[in-house]
């Protein structure tokens, strides 16, 4: 397979790129939902991300790619991998960005009894699924609004708990599965249930670029990439490298970023103003603002970060009036203008 289109070479779509980067900085954000037109680079952005993410150190041979500092039960129980509280061998791997294809069965997602070994050798073994592969990385679901409901429920549940518990076919397995869920879809195909919407941390609306020069630039870059992928990637390598360094720095600084009472107060007022249910909105807003501050190289969250991140953090949490046509984004913008006047 040829290398993915470089993340940095994506024209425009700044909000989407920022949201994905913030989710990479702060995995507890709860994932990103990207809704919008086809052919706007949703999949491209997620696939380009894989090349951008810093490499991970993993316990060699662990099916879940677990961290040597925080080994999973499976590793601790395996003398080939873990001895005297130390990993036998570790290796550096690229962070996984796993695609969850539409139509995947529950078996393939959560893992199942290993059919081959069960049938041929009579051994009860667990065959890890996509959730195992996605551990410590990204799980991407294109057309998430067309995914079976029970699978979406399951994904969100695992994403929130960080652990995949399999109790089926006589198996009882639990393994770490911490991943950033990225869902994308086209609202014309059907919507996501409201109760699922607000489980996503950030929500981004992408539209196809309207300006002709921007569209031409997209086509031109795509064409250049398809013709000579290696040369094209080489040209954007520096830019990607810069983003990667910034991402790594932001991750390291994240814990040092202060969120003062003023910022918390502003977050609470915003959510009250918009009437979002529950505390998830405030929590996400705060975490996202903190990640954004880290990305900006700041040591504390200021009103600027709040203003920039309010729409993606809150727009999918508003109560919807089916007869009200004014978009959620504009409602958030109005509230921001009131609570946090520039």
Partner 1 sequence: MTTAPDLPDGAAAWDDALLAAACVAVDPAGLGGIRVRAAAGPVRDAWIAILRASIPVEAAIRNIPLHVDDGRLFGGLDLAASLAQGRPVVQPGLLAQVDGGYALLSMAERIDPAVSTRIALAIDGDAQGSTSRFAAIAFDEGDADEAVGATLQERLGLAIDLRACSVGTITDTVATDRESLDAARGRLPRVEVPESLVEALCAAAVALGIDSLRMPFFAVRVARVLAALDGRDEAEAGDASTAARLVFTMRARRLPAAQQPPEEADEQEMPDDAADDGGDEAEPPQDPASDDAPQPDVPPDDAPLPDPPDDREESDDAVPAQEALDEVVLEAALSAMPPDLLRELARGAASHRSQGGRGSGAGAVQRGGTRGAPSGIRRGRPRARERLSLIETLRAAAPWQRIRREERPERADRGARIHVRADDLHVMRYKQRHPTTTVFVVDASGSSALNRLAEAKGAVELLLADCYVRRDSVAVLAFRGKAAQLLLPPTRSLVRARRSLAGLPGGGGTPVANALDATRELVVGLRRRGDTVLVVLLTDGRANVARDGSGGRPQADADAMESARSLRVLAVDVLLIDTSPKPYPQAAALADAMGALYRPLPSAGASAMSAIVNRAARGQSGLRAA
Report the SS3 class of residue 224: helix
Interaxial angle between packed helices 280-296 and 14-25, expressed in degrees from 0 to 180 and rounded to the nearest 10: 100
Say whether residue 122 binds partner 1 (CB under 8 A): yes
By beta-carbon proximity to partner 1, the closer residue of 112 and 285 is: 112
Say whether residue 149 binds partner 1 (CB under 8 A): yes
Say whether residue 102 binds partner 1 (CB under 8 A): yes
CB of residue 32 to partner 1, shortest distance in Å = 19
CB of residue 148 to partner 1, shortest distance in Å = 6
Say whether residue 121 binds partner 1 (CB under 8 A): yes
Q: What's the full length of the chain, in residues?
A: 342
Given 215, 222, 244, 280, the catalytic residue: 280
By beta-carbon proximity to partner 1, the closer residue of 2 and 84 is: 2
Selected from 28, 61, 154, 222, the binder of partner 1 by CB under 8 A is 222
> Among 104, 107, 98, which residue's Cα sits nearest to residue 171?
107
By beta-carbon proximity to partner 1, the closer residue of 98 and 257 is: 98
The strand ranges marked E within 38-116 are 56-59, 82-83, 86-87, 90-93, 97-99, 111-113
Say whether residue 101 binds partner 1 (CB under 8 A): yes
How far is CA 186 from each of CA 20, 69, 117, 150, 152, rounded to the nearest angstrom? 18, 40, 40, 20, 16
State how beta strands 137-141 and 179-185 pair. Answer: parallel
Binding string, residues 292-331; x marks residues near partner 1 by CB under 8 A: ----------------------------x-xx-x------
CB of residue 41 to partner 1, shortest distance in Å = 8
Say whether residue 119 binds partner 1 (CB under 8 A): yes
280 classed as catalytic = yes
> Among 143, 146, 133, 138, which residue's Cα sits nearest to residue 48?
138
d(CA 27, CA 162): 11
Q: Looking at the DSSP assignment, which residues form a beta bridge with residue 97?
A: 138
Site for partner 1 in 28-47 (CB under 8 A): 37-41, 43, 47
Say whether residue 154 binds partner 1 (CB under 8 A): no
Report the SS3 class of residue 275: coil
- In this chain, which stretch among 172-180, 217-225, 251-259, 307-315 interacts with partner 1, using CB under 8 A? 217-225
d(CA 127, CA 139): 18
Q: Looking at the DSSP assignment, which residues form a beta bridge with residue 36?
A: 206
CB of residue 183 to partner 1, shortest distance in Å = 14
Residue 274, sorted as left (phi over 0), alpha (psi -120 to 50) or beta, turns out to be alpha
CB of residue 65 to partner 1, shortest distance in Å = 17
d(CA 159, CA 150): 14
Q: Provide the annotated active-site residues.
A: 280
The residues binding partner 1 (CB under 8 A) are 1-2, 37-41, 43, 47, 99, 101-103, 105, 107, 113, 115-116, 118-122, 142-143, 145-146, 148-150, 169-170, 186-191, 193-194, 208-210, 212-213, 215-216, 218-220, 222-223, 226-227, 320, 322-323, 325
């Amino acid at each position: 397979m040829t290398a993915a289109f470089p993340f940095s070479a994506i024209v425009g779509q700044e909000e989407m790129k920022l949201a994905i980067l913030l989710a990479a900085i702060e995995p507890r954000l709860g994932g990103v939902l990207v809704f919008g037109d086809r052919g706007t680079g949703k999949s491209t952005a997620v696939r380009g991300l894989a090349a951008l993410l810093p490499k991970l150190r993993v316990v060699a041979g662990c099916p879940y790619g677990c961290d040597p500092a925080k080994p999973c039960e499976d590793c601790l129980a395996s003398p080939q991998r873990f001895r005297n509280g130390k990993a036998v061998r570790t290796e550096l791997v690229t962070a996984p960005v796993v695609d969850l294809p539409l139509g995947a069965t529950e078996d393939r997602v959560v893992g199942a009894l290993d059919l081959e070994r069960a049938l041929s050798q009579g051994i009860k073994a667990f065959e890890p699924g996509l959730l195992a592969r996605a551990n410590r990385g990204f799980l991407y679901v294109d057309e998430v609004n067309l995914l079976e409901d029970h699978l979406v429920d399951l994904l969100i549940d695992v994403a929130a708990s960080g652990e995949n518990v399999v109790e089926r076919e006589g198996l009882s397995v639990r393994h770490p599965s911490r991943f950033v869920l990225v869902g994308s879809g086209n609202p014309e195909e059907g919507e996501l249930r409201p109760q699922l919407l607000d489980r996503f941390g950030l929500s981004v609306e992408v539209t196809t670029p309207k300006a002709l020069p921007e569209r031409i630039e997209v086509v031109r870059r795509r064409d250049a990439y398809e013709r000579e992928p290696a040369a094209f990637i080489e040209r954007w390598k520096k830019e990607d490298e810069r983003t990667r360094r910034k991402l790594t720095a932001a991750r390291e600084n994240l814990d040092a970023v202060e969120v003062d009472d003023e910022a918390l107060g502003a977050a609470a007022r915003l959510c009250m103003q918009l009437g979002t249910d529950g505390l998830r909105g405030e929590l996400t807003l705060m975490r996202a603002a903190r990640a954004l501050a880290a990305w900006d190289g700041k040591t504390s969250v200021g009103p600027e970060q709040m203003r920039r991140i309010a729409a993606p953090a809150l727009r999918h949490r508003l109560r919807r009036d089916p007869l009200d046509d004014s978009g959620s984004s504009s409602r958030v913008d109005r509230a921001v203008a009131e609570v946090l006047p520039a």
